[in-house]
Structure 1
Amino acid sequence: MTAAQADLQAEFPEMPEELRIDRPAVADGAALWRMARDSEVLDLNSSYSYLLWCRDFADTSAVARAEPGGPPVGFVTAYLRPDRPRTLLVWQVAVDAAHRGRGLATRLLDALTARVADEHGVTGIETTITPGNTASERLFLSYAQRHGAAVEREVLFETRQFPDGPHEPEVLYRIGPLSV
């Protein structure tokens, strides 16, 4: 266990010690799709997209497993921005209902960004959050605070830009520079 993991374990003592965070595999795609669907908050992408994500972006994504080799109980999908390769765009974060409230999303996000910073030199993250999604706001604002990073916000996509019906605006959160 790293020092950062020990700190998180101390902060969230009810989190099982056997919890493992690793890269997703294609076989995890269906579980990620189900968690996104069951969250009732995330935009649900096609099941095909989660399979592709687990294949093509496994290096910049993470899953949590409650038991070695078991199914994912939480995930973070992310990618490096093509025009800003030192920026990690966090696409979705979800935790299975049975594992919520124990700091798993925090642990996943910290573990993923530490790994990607080490492997790819990432110095900042971005994510979008719809107004009123207080759980995501808390997750990312506390992340910024833990990592001594500034937060900038601006509307990335207005409601009128979404072609498939009413959709809240997506507010871009830029967090950095990071001290991971």
Structure 2
Amino acid sequence: MLDVPEVADGAHLWRIARDSGTLDLNSSYSYLLWCRDFAATSVVARGADGLPVAFVTGYVRPDAPDTLLVWQVAVDAAHRGRGLAGRLLDTLSDRVAATHGIRRLETTVTPDNTASDRLFTSFAERRGALLSREVLFAGEQFPGPDGGHEPEVLYAIEPLTAPAAS
């Protein structure tokens, strides 16, 4: 079942993100806040027990109110390979388009994240939308002892329309 996240889901989202092995893990506090403050622009998939097994978090950009920025997409390992991330993304973009009038979706993807590249490329294709890519944040802009963060490439998808019938 696809649903709007609740504060009680925050710890589960943090665990799914941690276990993904690819996402930058935010603090557990940030996932709790996300489920409180950005629930309307996020979506979770619930397993048979009612607990989240996947999520997409996003927000409407304050300086671009026609744009949904997708922050993170994660699917628990036991539920991968079933098209769940694509369904979550379609559901979220349709819902936010209806409630906020968005016409554009943005996200960032590191060059080594082939799963996210495929997800957003196929999303654009299903929507018959244009997909542009440009570096938003260069690797050297990231602070910290690692100094080895990949660049974050901005994917911009527009115009948003309903998926083409298959």
TM-score w.r.t. length of structure 2: 0.95
Q: Structure 1, residues 21-45: CA drift from partner, whole Å, max 9, x if none?
A: 1110000000000000000000000
Q: Structure 1, residues 97-133: CA drift from partner, whole Å, max 9, x if none?
A: 1100000000000000000001110111000000021
Note the aligned Cα RMSD (angstroms): 0.8
Q: Counterparts of 1:21 and 1:72 in 2: how far apart (Å)?
A: 9
Q: Counterparts of 1:168 and 1:134 in 2: how far apart (Å)?
A: 13
Give 3-state SS (helix, strand or coil) of 1:174's partner: strand
Unaligned runs of 5+ in 1: 1-19
1:73 matches 2:75: no
2:141 to 153, 157, 161: 161
Question: Which residue number corresponds to residue 121 of structure 1?
Answer: 101
Shift of 1:162: 0.3
Moved segments of 4+, more than 2 Å? none
1:144 matches 2:124: yes
Q: Counterparts of 1:120 and 1:66 in 2: how far apart (Å)?
A: 28
Unaligned runs of 5+ in 2: none
TM-score w.r.t. length of structure 1: 0.87
Shift of 1:66: 2.1
Instruction: Output aligned runs, 1:57-136, within 5 Å.
Output: 57-67=38-48, 70-136=50-116
User: What is the identity, as a one-letter code, of the residue corresponding to 1:142?
Assistant: S
User: What is the identity, as a one-letter code, of the residue corresponding to 1:94?
Assistant: A
Task: Give me the identity figure in percent.
Answer: 69
How many aligned residue pairs are there?
Answer: 160
Q: Counterparts of 1:179 and 1:103 in 2: how far apart (Å)?
A: 19
User: What is the identity, as a one-letter code, of the residue corresponding to 1:162?
Assistant: F
